Amino acid sequence: MKPCPRCGSREIHKVEYSWWGGIVGPGLVHQVRCKKCGKTYDGATGTNITKRVATFIAIIQVILFVIVISKYFF
């Protein structure tokens, strides 16, 4: 795991659950949280996860939209 990009600490833990991805999302983006400063980031690369979180939410919204629409047309 990469150290925290904000404070450099190696005291991190895997995020098991998040508001945006439940139990699946954090595992897909390798989300970890720094125990010192609270920063969340990709533990595999040490980069920000904001774009991947937004993509994950958009994909889920599209899937739900297709499911709802398909109930009315099929």
Residue 74: what residue type? Answer: F
Residue 1 has pLDDT above 90, yes or no: no
* Beta carbons of 29 and 37 less than 8 angstroms apart: no
Give the C-alpha separation, 24 to 38, whole Å: 21
Give the C-alpha separation, 18 to 16, whole Å: 7
Domain spans of the chain, in order of start = 12-73
3-state secondary structure of 63: helix
* Stated pTM of the model: 0.80
For residue range 50-64, what is the model confidence (pLDDT) as tens digits? 999 999 999 999 999
